[in-house]
Amino acid sequence: MPDRTTHIQELKDLVACFVQERNWNRFHSSKNLSMSIAIEAAELMELFQWADSSDLDEIPVDRVREELSDVIIYCLSMANALEIDITDAVRAKVRSNAQKYPIDRYKGKYK
């Protein structure tokens, strides 16, 4: 099912079921999950490590998809472990960022 018709809770449940079936909950401390998110993010970055702008089209999208999925899966696991509602959390953070970076001051600027 595509993103357009899938609820975040379905993905959280999918990941929770995978973890539960393997009795891995006991390994899912905040420390381990936060480190796993960073490690998988590093694996994603590794794909681009020595690429310059002319090489970017040669990076295999299937490998990017895999590593991006690893990051997201650990994020979902952390949300499950800490009972964080992702929708509420992301909406609150975007609201906070919108106040921190008002459009009239930051549009087209990153500093």
Residues that bind Mg ion (CB under 5 A): 40, 43, 67, 70
Residue with the shortest CB distance to Mg ion: 70
Q: Which are the contacts of 12, defined by CB distance < 8 A and separation ≥ 6?
A: 76, 79, 80, 86
DSSP secondary structure letter of residue 22: T
38 or 98, CB closer to Mg ion?
A: 38
40 or 78, CB closer to Mg ion?
A: 40
> In this structure, are residues 82 and 12 in contact, taking their beta carbons and an 8 Å threshold?
no
32 or 67, CB closer to Mg ion?
A: 67
